[in-house]
Structure formats: structure tokens, C-alpha cells
């Protein structure tokens, strides 16, 4: 009975397809995690900083209205920004791919020299890289993908990437921004609501900072560093916003 791993027992073509699919899934997972981190982190800091600043005016209604206005507009803005960024990446990839296709067709010798130059950076001699160049010359699609991966270092975006990125980042922003606002709906005294909101935000920022670093780097030390970093950034943003609004409000009163 064969003791080879399943992946080794597969035909070469199937192994290539499996490896490529696994690589795409890994990149998609990383992209989703990145969008969640950006959206949630912005949602926790920007709306909280705004509501904290507005709370200095002493009106819960003003805090809620201002906070909700920023929350919805910010979610839409983040989602739209993510969508446009993904579309731009896709258009850039298509443009560079078309350029590489044209260069391979019109200047094959120069493109083969680029293969040697790329592989030389990895310590591969010209004699050894010649075999790679010859293999790629037999298949233009593989040749184009090689140049996109190693010369331009561009990852081919999936067709659904733009919508997934927009939905993920917009939703993460909304959830992150809604959490600090909950006390203002439940507590009439704006100062008490602010303190509860600060507590919720501190715990959430610390937990989120730990989780995002731990998921990516997978060490507790990295998680604690991420927790401290996220908490410090959020605290600075909130304190700055509160101080600005408080200063403007009191300067108007005295004048």
C-alpha cells in the first residue's frame, strides 16, 4: 500500500491546480482580514472620537444625531473607497497584463533577458535559469503569469473582490462605530454615557488589537503589542477630538 501523502499521490496537473486554489483562498482570507481590521479600527476610533467630542456639549440628542450621521456616511464612504480601490487594482492588473502580453509577442528576446535578471536575484545562474526561460517560452500564458508574479509582483484580483471588499469594510466600520454609541441610547445623562462608552471602547479596542495581531502573527506577544497599539491610537484620537470640540464650545461661550 502506498504511503505517499494525498497531495503527492495526485497527478502533477491536479497538484498544481490544488496549490493554486489554496494560494488564492489564502490571499482572499488575508484581504478580508485586512478589510475587517481597517474598517473596524476606523469605526471604533472615528465615531467614538466624534461622539466623545460632542458629549462635551452636554446633549445626548446631539451626540446621537451627530454620531449616527457620521456612522452611516462613514460606512458608505469606507465601502465606496474599498470598492474603488479594488476596481483600480483590477484595472491596473489588466493593463500591466496586456502590456506584458504585447512585449512577449514583440520583444521575446528582451523578455527572456528579464527572466534571467529576475532569477539572478535569487542566486540562480544563467545556465540554470535558461531551462526556466525555455519552458516559459513554450507557453505564453505561463510566461505572462511569471512576469506578473515576479517582475511586477502583482496578484491577480478575483472578479468578486470589489464587492466583497466594499461590503466587508463598510459593515466592519458600522459595527465598530455602533458599539461606543450604545450607552448614549440607554443612558440619559451624557456624562455617564460618555464614561460607559469609554469603558466599552477601551475593552473593545484592547480585545480587537489583540485578536487582529494574534490571528495574523499567531503569538501572544504580538497580540499584546497590537492591543496596546490600537488602544493608544484610539485614546489619542478621542482625546484630541474631545479637546477640540470642548475648546471651541467654551471659546464661543466666553466671547
Q: Which domain holds residue 237?
A: 36-107+161-246
Is 76 domain-assigned?
yes
Q: How confident is the prediction along the chain (255 residues), in pLDDT tens digits per residue?
A: 444 444 444 454 555 544 555 556 666 777 788 888 888 878 887 788 788 778 877 788 888 898 899 999 999 999 999 999 989 989 999 999 999 999 999 999 999 999 999 999 999 999 999 999 999 999 999 999 999 999 888 888 877 888 999 999 999 999 989 998 999 998 888 889 888 988 888 888 888 888 877 776 777 787 888 888 877 877 787 677 667 766 776 665 544
Is 140 domain-assigned?
no
0.85 cut: is pTM over it? no
Max CA-CA distance within the chain? 90
Per-residue pLDDT at 14: 52
Is 190 domain-assigned?
yes
Per-residue pLDDT at 253: 53
Is 165 domain-assigned?
yes
What b-and-e string marks burial along 132-154, b requiring 16 or more CB atoms within 10 Å of the CB?
Answer: bbeebeeeeeebbbbbbeeeeee
Residue with cell 473596524: 40
Provide the number of structural domains found in the chain: 1
Q: In what helix (H) or strand (E) does residue 10 lie, and over which residues does it extend?
A: none
pLDDT in tens, 205-254: 888 888 877 776 777 787 888 888 877 877 787 677 667 766 776 665 54
Distances (CA, A) of 27 to 21, 24, 134, 145, 155: 10, 5, 29, 16, 9
Distances (CA, A) of 40 to 43, 74, 99, 174: 5, 11, 37, 8
Per-residue pLDDT at 172: 93
Is 120 domain-assigned?
no
Contact predicate 100/144, CB 8 Å: yes
Is 226 domain-assigned?
yes
Helix 161-178, helix 12-54: angle, nearest 10: 30
Is 14 domain-assigned?
no
Give 122's DSSP letter: T
Is 127 domain-assigned?
no
Amino acid at each position: 500500500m502506498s504511503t505517499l501523502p494525498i497531495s503527492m499521490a495526485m497527478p502533477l496537473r491536479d497538484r498544481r491546480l490544488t496549490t493554486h486554489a489554496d494560494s488564492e483562498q489564502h490571499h482572499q482570507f488575508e484581504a478580508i482580514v485586512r478589510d475587517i481590521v481597517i474598517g473596524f479600527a476606523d469605526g471604533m476610533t472615528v465615531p467614538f472620537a466624534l461622539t466623545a467630542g460632542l458629549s462635551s456639549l452636554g446633549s445626548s440628542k446631539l451626540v446621537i444625531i451627530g454620531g449616527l450621521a457620521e456612522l452611516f456616511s462613514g460606512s458608505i464612504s469606507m465601502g465606496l473607497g474599498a470598492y474603488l480601490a479594488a476596481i483600480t487594482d483590477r484595472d491596473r492588473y489588466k493593463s500591466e497584463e496586456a502590456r506584458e502580453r504585447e512585449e512577449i509577442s514583440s520583444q521575446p528576446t528582451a523578455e527572456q533577458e528579464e527572466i534571467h535578471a529576475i532569477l539572478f536575484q535569487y542566486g540562480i545562474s544563467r545556465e540554470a535559469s535558461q531551462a526556466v526561460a525555455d519552458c516559459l517560452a513554450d507557453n505564453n500564458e505561463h510566461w505572462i503569469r511569471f512576469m506578473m508574479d515576479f517582475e511586477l509582483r502583482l496578484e491577480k484580483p478575483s472578479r468578486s473582490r470589489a464587492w466583497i471588499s466594499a461590503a466587508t469594510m463598510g459593515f466592519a466600520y458600522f459595527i465598530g462605530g455602533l458599539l461606543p454609541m450604545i450607552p448614549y441610547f440607554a443612558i440619559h445623562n451624557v456624562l455617564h454615557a460618555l464614561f460607559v462608552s469609554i469603558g466599552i471602547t477601551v475593552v473593545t479596542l484592547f480585545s480587537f488589537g489583540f485578536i487582529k495581531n494574534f490571528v495574523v502573527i499567531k503569538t501572544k506577544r504580538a497580540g499584546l503589542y497590537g492591543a496596546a497599539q490600537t488602544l493608544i491610537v484610539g485614546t489619542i484620537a478621542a482625546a484630541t477630538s474631545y479637546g477640540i470640540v470642548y475648546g471651541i464650545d467654551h471659546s464661543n461661550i466666553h466671547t
